[in-house]
């Protein structure tokens, strides 16, 4: 059994990112601020902004769970705040994955207090079935419940720079050996579905 399966290829990702960017471009009424949540969404943001047909500002936030609070507590801390004021601006939070939604719910509550004109979410991956709290997702690239790596998504800081989105088929095995997928860097890229 191989360790991973192709979830979406680079080309499939680019096509979907283009659709999301078109939707965002037609929805905004003035120059939006795209706020990327570090680090997983950086590659997605870079592709997304280049497909927008409107001008946009970009900014970054970084958050982490409180040590000891537990993964599922939703208690998070802003490690790096965004620099731009959001008052009366159209703000779009750019996420890699919305899983339980706890991180995002915290972030939204915080940004709401700063008085943005609009506050919307754009996530590359939506894991709807795993949701504990329900922030409304305005733009969602792909739906899954599986663990993915590549295209910015990591496992313990690894595999972000793999160009495709890959499904990890045996997560406990990767937990036991985080370097297990390193061989993927020296392999031929996966064939596209339908490609000869």
**Beta carbon of residue 95, minimum distance to ligand IMP (angstroms, whole number):** 6
Pair 176, 155: CB distance under 8 Å:
no
**111 and 84 in contact (C-beta within 8 Å)?**
no
Question: CB 74 → ligand IMP: shortest distance, Å?
Answer: 7
Among 40, 135, 150, 152, indicate the residue that binds Mg ion (CB under 5 A): 40
Residues 66-105 that bind Mg ion (CB under 5 A): 96
81 noted as active-site residue:
no
Q: Determine if the peptide bond prior to 123 is cis (ω within 30°).
A: no
Residue 147 binds which entry of ligand IMP, Mg ion, none, CB below 5-8 Å type-dependent: ligand IMP
Long-range contacts (CB closer than 8 Å, 24 or more residues apart) made by 61-67: 61/35, 61/36, 61/37, 61/107, 62/37, 62/38, 63/37, 63/103, 63/106, 63/107
Nearer to ligand IMP (CB atom), residue 30 or residue 134: 134
Buried/exposed 57-93: b ≥16 CB within 10 Å, e otherwise: bbebbebebeeeeeeeebebeeeeebeeebeebbbbb
| DSSP 8-class letter at 151 | T
Residue 166 binding: pick among ligand IMP, Mg ion, none (C-beta 5-8 Å cut-off by kind): none
**Which position among 88, 99, 164, 177 bears the catalytic label?**
99
**Structure tokens, 56:** 């946009």
Residues that bind ligand IMP (CB under 6 A): 40, 95-104, 147-148, 153-154
Catalytic residue ranges: 99
Interface contacts to Mg ion, rule CB under 5 A = 40, 96
């Amino acid at each position: 059994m191989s360790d991973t399966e192709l979830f979406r290829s680079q080309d499939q990702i680019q096509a979907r990112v283009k659709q999301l960017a078109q939707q965002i471009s037609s929805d905004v009424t003035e120059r939006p601020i795209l706020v990327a949540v570090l680090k997983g969404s950086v590659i997605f943001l870079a592709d997304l902004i280049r497909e927008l047909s409107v001008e946009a500002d970009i900014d970054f936030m970084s958050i982490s769970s409180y040590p000891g609070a537990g993964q599922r507590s939703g208690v998070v801390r802003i490690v790096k705040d965004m620099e731009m004021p959001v008052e009366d601006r159209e703000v779009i939070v750019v996420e890699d994955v919305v899983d339980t939604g706890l991180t995002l719910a915290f972030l939204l509550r915080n940004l709401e207090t700063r008085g943005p004109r609009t506050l919307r979410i754009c996530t590359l991956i939506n894991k709807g079935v795993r949701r504990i709290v329900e922030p409304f997702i305005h733009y969602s690239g792909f739906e899954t419940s599986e663990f993915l790596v590549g295209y910015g998504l990591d496992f313990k800081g690894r595999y972000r720079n793999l160009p495709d989105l890959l499904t990890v088929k045996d997560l406990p095995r990767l937990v036991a050996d985080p370097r297990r997928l390193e061989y993927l860097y020296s392999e031929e890229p996966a064939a596209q579905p339908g490609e000869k």
